[in-house]
Chains A and B, each alone.
Chain A
Amino acid sequence: MKAWLPALLRLAVLALLVTFITSPNWFEPLLKPLTENGAPAIYNQGSLLTLTLQHLSTVLIATVAATIVAVALAILVTRPAGAEFLPLSRSLVNIGQTFPPVAVLALAVPAVGFGEKPTLIALFLYGLLPIFENALTALTTLPGNVMEAARGAGMTGWQRLTKVELPLSAPVILGGIRLSVVIGLATATIGSTVAAKTLGEVIIAGLISNNLAFVLQGGLIVAALAVLIYDGLSAIERYAARRMGQGAE
């Protein structure tokens, strides 16, 4: 009986989110008490819908690029030809994760200028690491008997990769993608400090003009997006894991 409750809650959050970004003025009375001196309660220097879509597209582009590169690299270092790079790539991932996102963002500015580009670079670099790490873990811990069976069945290296290794690794790789999307959604807000068009613009406008309503709406939209996307990807991950579990039986 309780099983449908979380699903219903998520649906409610989604409905609320969509209503808010499409017609934010309905919520003005709710946010008005948070403003001072008659400041606007709803962000008025751009449409929330456009900003949300730009925020999402920035994260999407960076994540897709990061996924392609990270999975390709993980495949490369787990093949015999690239095995030499495996220990080094592990330590590089460890080192890379200590770089704070703000530093990556700020350091990308001199190379590519202000705007979307430094944000995309920071999101891409920061998104690489969790995906690479998970893909590496998945590809190096495949069950030995399955790999033996695939080899015994006369599959070529390419067939083993596309028909056995990647499908079996999919749930863990998806877990890495989920992590990197959630980090990306939050990091993209910081991108607004270097003039990227994301929801961070709303929050920063609020911080500058001391308008709590702006900070709250920007923050809540990003948080709701993150929770919903996190849940959605977790569901896909469980589905993939279940399919793999059934496939192995």
Chain B
Amino acid sequence: MTLRFDKLGVVIAAIVAYAAFLAPFATFRANRIVPGQARSILESLPPTLGMLLLAIAIAAAIVALLRTPLALRLAASVVALVALTILIGVAGGFLTPAGNAFARVAPASGFWLLIFAFTLLLADVLTRLNLSPWARVGVLVLAALAIAALLVSGNWDSLSILKEYASRADSFWAEASKHVTLALGSLAGAVIVGIPLGILCHRVEKLRAGVLNVLNIIQTIPSIALFGLLIAPLGWVALHVPGAAAIGIRGIGIAPAFVALFLYSLLPVVANTVVGLAGVPRAANDAARGMGMTDRQRLFDVEFPLAFPVILTGIRIVLVQNIGLATIAALIGGGGFGVFVFQGVGQTAMDLVLLGALPTVALAFAAAIILDAVIEMTATKRRVVETA
């Protein structure tokens, strides 16, 4: 039997070999800000579990290296990822001296590289399987449930990120809800204003270039500056417009952050609405006119449904971008996960940075997968309608 190598597998196997044998698996620190000491897999885990993890990693790497059936590759990557995520929690408990509340155990580069290598394998399998939109959302839900189960089970409680979380559990959820409110609220505002504005720009050609240019220029203002510049006008509004302060409009805090995110969101929504409407086939419009549809009917029954997937693409861009940008709101007191990121950077406590950064990345990632699936579903529906 001749052995045939998979090219991606060579890359994965090389990463796994380095990560499992040369890079540290976990870092142990006597308290949260001193430099850490590296621990290898065998040092971080009880002997049997350490050997088991190494065996699983090597076996999965061999499956990746050779040309093996997709189902086997899928199983190998999932088993390796599950083993890694469970055993890093075990390592936390194993390395922390009993009764010591100051010691911190954090995943180190070896762990992250192993996660990266097997995620790469999983991503490759999922890409090759060419999953339907529903199946992709299903995989996302499964992964979220698995992570939630690990969090609830307390398996990770001995890890430094969750120790940071434990001392801030209340503020974590308050900032999380602020973050989501900022990202989704500004998106809703941009959709309510942006889609009619896009329709207007489509109908009135004179407006189009002007509006799009202004929105383009707003995008070039760096986010921290835009947040800062809005402090003054909103402070003025709060002082001089009756009732404004009562509904929470203030110079600093969530209001300028909200307005800035809203302004950044307008361009993709307006531009995609214009592009989507311009892409409506002339034949469809002519047919609608020939049937005696009014302008309004044509807009709602023909143009808008046909342009919808393109508009949705704009909304996807905005949502992912807003989830990321909302972290910067913390600099002007707007809250959100950025609070932990910037506090962590200020205290050089990287676990705190991760506490802010990981949920942000996870949110953005989930939003992208869900909206991509929705876009694909509406686009296929449209194609079915077109061919019918």
Contacts and interface: CB of A to CB of B under 8 A. Distances in A.
A84 B124 CA distance: 10
B10 to A, nearest CB: 11
Interface in A202-243: 203-204, 206-207, 212, 215-216, 218-220, 222-223, 226-227, 230
Contact of A223 (B127, B225, B231, B357): B225
Contact of A219 (B120, B222, B353): B222
A106 B222 contact: no
B332 A219 contact: no
Contacts of B220: 182, 185-186, 222-223, 226-227, 230
B320 A98 contact: yes
Contacts of B127: 87-88, 90-91
Interface string B343-367: 0110000100110110011001101
A190 interface: yes
B164 to A, nearest CB: 14
B287 interface: no
Interface string A35-78: 00000000000000000000000000000000000000000000
Contacts of B224: 189-190, 200, 203-204, 207, 219
A92 B123 contact: yes
B221 interface: yes
A49 B256 CA distance: 29
Given A193-B345, A207-B332, A215-B229, A100 B223 contact: no
B364 A99 contact: yes
A97 interface: yes
Contacts of A127: none
A204 B6 CA distance: 49
Q: Main secondary structure on chain A at its contact with chain B?
A: helix
A191 B119 CA distance: 29
Contact of B324 (A100, A193, A222): A100
A215 B225 contact: yes
A102 B328 contact: yes
B225 A218 contact: yes
B217 interface: yes
A97 B320 contact: yes
A80 B347 CA distance: 50
B8 interface: yes
Interface string B96-129: 0000000000000100000000001001101110
Contacts of A206: 228
Query: Chain B: interface residue count, which band?
Result: 35 or more
A188 to B, nearest CB: 8
B8 A95 contact: no
Contacts of A189: 222-225
A27 interface: no
Interface string B224-239: 1111110110000000
A194 B8 CA distance: 35
Interface in B209-224: 217, 219-224
Interface in B1-43: 6-8
A106 B225 contact: no
Given A84-B7, A98-B368, A103-B324, A212 B231 contact: yes
Given A215-B225, A220-B225, A222-B222, 12 more contacts: A88-B127, A91-B126, A102-B360, A106-B345, A109-B350, A190-B222, A203-B224, A204-B331, A207-B224, A219-B221, A222-B221, A230-B220
Interface of A: 34, 82, 84-85, 87-88, 90-92, 94-95, 97-103, 106-107, 109-111, 182, 185-186, 189-190, 193-194, 199-200, 203-204, 206-207, 212, 215-216, 218-220, 222-223, 226-227, 230
19 contacts: A82-B7, A84-B8, A88-B124, A91-B126, A98-B320, A100-B324, A102-B328, A102-B360, A103-B360, A111-B109, A185-B220, A186-B220, A199-B222, A200-B222, A200-B224, A207-B228, A215-B231, A219-B224, A222-B221
Q: Which 3 A-B pairs have the closest CB atoms?
A: A219-B225, A100-B324, A215-B228
